[in-house]
Structure 1
């Protein structure tokens, strides 16, 4: 028997080895074999082959495989794991989601010639026009990086068809570096932005840097009627230089097309091969800049018509795009002044997100509030989403709500200034009757890093927001002796339409009665109590957790539950009762990560869960639990869970004593 088993093992090893050789051959000679040769293979063999294919091969095969009822999900997930590492949790349920994520992660890296380990290993298959074309069909965000000029140049010449495709697909544009409008080579970046923002469908703009004049150019003509004086002077000076150059060159039959090769022979070539366009001559640019003769234009109408190909923007006046969503990642006082001037007439703006370089000053917030107030007073205002970080104290949220009372989504982050005197803002107060007026807020996020927070103010906002469907509160510290119970009571009394509740880094161990009361009559779909020290003051932890589980089972709409970072440890087994009895919980995603659950405890949880099998396949987040303390038992528990769970796990190193300590505090 042993001899027979040994021979069977050797035969299986040879078969696996032969398969690997064949799969590598298919990957190498895919073009010669053709799609049909792969499609005709048996389904099990195709599924084994998928993880061995390149990105472009998977993309090419996907439509035909889908027609056969075969998903490429495993192939895309395999690529993501190769990029991110084997311990990275891949949370994409469909092949299209996984594919888009692969393309998103690789496009910018490959386009600009950056590198990582995955790209190094696969550079032959990725550094191709076919990959960029395939990725461009998937991505929605384009990151413009000006430090590497050649890739952007190529979009005005040999890769112009790619720019045409991006123009039709890109919804969001990011600017990662400052653009010096005084330099001639800037025109390439300006032209690409113009094509995406004005001729294209992009309406979202993300600015990653502090550059006020560039921000003024980006906002100019794209929704706001404001014209920045400094930008206006710069544009007029460049236009004058262009006119002067045109006049001096007219005797030779030349036209004003700064920064471009415009010889007649090239124009004739363009008529024959419209995709081979002239591009900026980097050598001549550098020479002219050094000699002080770098004349060029910032007028996009002139620039675009000069560069316009047969298959690009039509002749005549160029369109002006509109920016619906604006995010400024490093918003200092100078950038804020530019924005504040533009805001009162920025009627198309729907979403505004501002991240300060450091904590905003009081005066900055008051200036922003005045501009928002002017905008909100216009019947043409579209602003509904507002996100500001970091405010110096919570009460400034009141100022922002007074300034734009029509927002339906508000996100604020607050951090106490620990030095200097606090400025007491003197601004016109809203009438007392208005302070109790109903707010249309549907989503509210308040993240706080204060020594103490005025809970009364937060509950006041909640009482004025009866239409609230999503609430996220994090880090709120109360004076000694106070309790978060009033927060939960207010939610029970005033926010009956709440669908998503995320309470994070709050002390809720003395609030079990209020939690149970909230759950008795609610319509929650998502509930997260992350790092809320739930069990900290419970004298009978198991009994109290059973009460919580019983209350959770009475919420039929609940599909996502997170109890991460609550030191559940051995008490995790009680959670299996969620799915017991005649009315099991409808939870489909359960997060019990960072709870110091040891292998033996997970094994017991798996046994109980097998007895009370969930009605739906359960996604179970087990990350950051010490599974390596007994790998065999941990793996046995995972094996027991997999028939009815999708366990999400990542590596844990118990040698990291600080992580152990934090998880077991």
Structure 2
């Protein structure tokens, strides 16, 4: 089909009524627009009626959408539907789309596809669209959108291309990339490691990347990555290695003919060099630039040193922990630190980390604000870490008992020490995920009372003594945290705390409230009555826009939630999460019928995932159709044959 045939088909489509033949003709036209996009040109697409343009968008390739987007935006036409169509094609029809703007959807597509195409990985989508994706134009289009880059030395050839035919991409990455992930183990005795370190050097030292994520256990590599990029600490073994490299690099430069143009290597034969068994690898950043950078590259003079502002270590072993304890006291530029230990930390390791953090905090130059640590041995460790760096504004910890069979520690808090002077904390966000047989709630409430600026609190899995209640926690939140805006209680028994929840709501300015798997209605004789009390309390909080009640066995009582939007005063809730509540199709239909009578003032995002819609698909679909005009539905497939999930949701 050429341009004339395409235009004739479009005219015929405009002039006829829509029957089955016309719909078939329309599909042919849309597929032809994709296939002959280059021959047609952008103008041919732009000359179509707006309705047809919107119809053709989901049929276009990634590069075609990217090429059309600027011109369509000038006509105030969004390509959002096209990008969302690609997301659904990648992840499947049941994938929940959590992007709301054109740029968010485009970034999601590029973030997903770029590493797959660049490193040659395969999934169903890249296999079906290999002709459109395995092109320089796609790599260039994606590189202009992404802000994160993965360095995988297990596949050196794609990285090697950045020093040869894909050299312009590396220049673009210097301007675009803000965060880098290093995966797989790196060995300084291997040639391919040089290439990975060189790309890192370009992105961090010559470029604008400031966030580093590491998936490996190698203290020497960690020392190289941190060297000169924020801390004054120098690892002795690394210093010797770098000094040898600098000396070798100087000798090599002196041996070159000053009158001749230096010949720099743009490629390495990794197979040949690895088989040669050479281990005299030069890892000095300046020498790496000389080895890999073409003449027009950035390293004509001395290489700059970048700074690491955000550091995340996903597999932090004992050696890396010891190195960090030496690095942290002078890591003044560090804003965020995330450490995931490969095993539960022991008390001496926690004390070493706390000591290093205290030295950093005591200096007036510290900028550390965000701290995430896992896995701590007990809840007391959290308090020690906070006392060592009271200026952090965000703390996230995961706590797990050191071993099975350890007797629970008696209730204890640093506040009970005679010489302990409680310091007010700067905390604004606190997340505590606990796996303990018994948690000392007094430590948690002590931290809350010392955090008057706390705006977000998330606690999961906190178990108390059988005779204890979470009411003390809720009372503390009501009395000590007036700035609280987001409260997320998860896997926490609240069945005997209904009065405290209602009191908290009456005296709060919450914007987000989530009770996930909290057994809210477990001890209620009349579930609907208690749910009505909760709905009435929620309606008294005008700032509340998100309400999460996932996995609370609401089931047939779901209709009560429609009352959020009825009466003289209505709720401001814009997002309602009722996942995993065993809501059956007939119950959802009744909910939809009631809420249709009094629809929300604002478009409501309704999360219905993991509810048994397949029990009666026709009724379920009828309920969804009734809800769609005034809600954004988050749904996914459910398999009632999965009896365990079914049982747990209906307990």
**Could you state the TM-score of these two structures normalised by the residue count of structure 1?**
0.92
Distance, in Å, in 2 between the alignment partners of 1:292 and 1:52 is 52
Pick one of 364, 368, 376 that aligns with 2:349. 364
2:430 partner SS = strand
- Which residue of structure 1 aligns with residue 13 of structure 2? none
* Contact 2:340 2:373 survives alignment (8 Å): yes
Residue 286 of structure 2 corresponds to residue 279 of structure 1: no
* Contact 2:390 2:424 survives alignment (8 Å): no
Distance, in Å, in 2 between the alignment partners of 1:61 and 1:286 is 43
Residue 131 of structure 2 corresponds to residue 144 of structure 1: no
Pick one of 524, 540, 565 that aligns with 1:538. 524
| Equivalences for residues 80-119 of structure 1 within 5 A | 80-119=87-126
Structure 1 residue 413: Cα displacement? 0.6
Question: Cα 1:651–1:110, aligned 2, differ >3 Å: closer, same or farther?
Answer: same
2:493 partner SS = coil
- Which residue of structure 2 aligns with residue 632 of structure 1? 618
Distance, in Å, in 1 between the alignment partners of 2:167 and 2:419 is 59
Pick one of 487, 495, 500 that aligns with 1:514. 500
Structure 1 residue 157: Cα displacement? 1.2
Pick one of 453, 469, 490 that aligns with 1:504. 490
- Which residue of structure 1 aligns with residue 475 of structure 2? 489
| Equivalences for residues 20-35 of structure 1 within 5 A | 20-35=27-42
Q: Give the aligned CA root-mean-square deviation in angstroms.
A: 2.2
Gapped runs of 5+ residues in structure 2? Answer: 1-15
* Contact 2:517 2:552 survives alignment (8 Å): yes
Question: Cα 1:254–1:368, aligned 2, differ >3 Å: closer, same or farther?
Answer: farther
- Which residue of structure 1 aligns with residue 284 of structure 2? 299
Pick one of 550, 554, 557 that aligns with 1:571. 557
* Contact 2:408 2:437 survives alignment (8 Å): no
Question: Cα 1:24–1:598, aligned 2, differ >3 Å: closer, same or farther?
Answer: same
* Contact 1:242 1:296 survives alignment (8 Å): no
* Contact 1:191 1:304 survives alignment (8 Å): yes
Distance, in Å, in 2 between the alignment partners of 1:212 and 1:178 is 11
Structure 1 residue 91: Cα displacement? 1.3
Q: Deviations over 1:178-229 (max 9, x none)?
A: 2211223322111110010111111100001111111000000000011111
* Contact 2:246 2:287 survives alignment (8 Å): no
1:367 partner SS = helix
Distance, in Å, in 1 between the alignment partners of 2:273 and 2:543 is 67
| Equivalences for residues 323-362 of structure 1 within 5 A | 323-362=308-347
* Contact 1:459 1:490 survives alignment (8 Å): yes
- Which residue of structure 2 aligns with residue 197 of structure 1? 204
- Which residue of structure 2 aligns with residue 316 of structure 1? 301
- Which residue of structure 1 aligns with residue 177 of structure 2? 170
* Contact 2:58 2:81 survives alignment (8 Å): yes
Distance, in Å, in 2 between the alignment partners of 1:507 and 1:293 is 61
2:19 partner SS = helix
Question: Cα 1:159–1:221, aligned 2, differ >3 Å: closer, same or farther?
Answer: same
- Which residue of structure 1 aligns with residue 544 of structure 2? 558
1:542 partner SS = helix
Distance, in Å, in 2 between the alignment partners of 1:448 and 1:604 is 38
Pick one of 56, 64, 82 that aligns with 2:63. 56
Pick one of 560, 568, 580 that aligns with 1:594. 580
* Contact 2:266 2:293 survives alignment (8 Å): no
**Could you state the TM-score of these two structures normalised by the residue count of structure 2?**
0.93
Distance, in Å, in 2 between the alignment partners of 1:476 and 1:538 is 22
- Which residue of structure 1 aligns with residue 232 of structure 2? 225
Moved more, 454-463 or 18-27: 18-27
Gapped runs of 5+ residues in structure 1? Answer: 1-8, 256-262, 268-276
Distance, in Å, in 1 between the alignment partners of 2:446 and 2:280 is 59
* Contact 1:245 1:295 survives alignment (8 Å): no
Structure 1 residue 230: Cα displacement? 1.6
Question: Cα 1:467–1:58, aligned 2, differ >3 Å: closer, same or farther?
Answer: same
Residue 505 of structure 2 corresponds to residue 523 of structure 1: no
- Which residue of structure 2 aligns with residue 157 of structure 1? 164
Distance, in Å, in 2 between the alignment partners of 1:295 and 1:90 is 50
2:395 partner SS = strand
Distance, in Å, in 1 between the alignment partners of 2:136 and 2:386 is 49
Structure 1 residue 307: Cα displacement? 3.7
Structure 1 residue 310: Cα displacement? 5.5
Distance, in Å, in 2 between the alignment partners of 1:135 and 1:594 is 37
Distance, in Å, in 2 between the alignment partners of 1:422 and 1:246 is 65
Structure 1 residue 67: Cα displacement? 1.3
| Equivalences for residues 196-215 of structure 1 within 5 A | 196-215=203-222
Question: Cα 1:420–1:657, aligned 2, differ >3 Å: closer, same or farther?
Answer: closer
